[in-house]
Amino acid sequence: MKYDFKTFDGMMVWLEKEFNTRCDYTATIEGYDGECELRLMDCAYQAENHLTFHIPSEAMRCSVGVNDWVKISATWWEHGGERFWVEITHVIDDADGNPLFYGVARNNLYGAEWGSKVGPFQSRHICDIEFNTDEQKAA
């Protein structure tokens, strides 16, 4: 196993090079102590590079709409990571026409509670989907 030595928030940690989580995107969440940042895992990268990680298709992830629930995976800056459900409250397009999702947490998290606002995040950050309507499930 190959390892890489990295610094996170002043702490040195070993990371497996073969399991790069690609947490290269930051979203905001309303935490217990005000707004804080989450580093979001690139689930699309994980699915492409690790055979044990499966996610919905790009078409399904891009078809997510208001009231659908999606699971995202995030790393708290000073703590470990966790996956959690987000109910989508609105979707806008970025400058390239790709969807940006906003929602509210549907789990109590390490640093935030049920109902905390989350976003924006992209379709590549969606690990799982619970659609609100049967029409979307067929996409």
- Asked if residue 40 lies in contact with residue 28, where contact means CB atoms within 8 angstroms, the answer is no
Q: Dump strand ranges (E) for 9-124.
A: 11-16, 25-31, 34-40, 69-76, 81-93, 99-105, 117-122
For residues 119 and 117, give the distance between their C-alpha atoms in angstroms, rounded to a whole number. Answer: 7
Section 94-119 average pLDDT: 91
Nearest to 9 by CA among 95, 75, 99, 83: 75
Q: What is the pLDDT of residues 32-78, one digit of tens each?
A: 677 777 778 888 877 777 656 678 999 999 999 999 999 998 876 66
Q: What's the number of CA atoms in the CB half-sphere (13 Å) around residue 62?
A: 9
Q: Assess whether pLDDT exceeds 60 at residue 10.
A: no
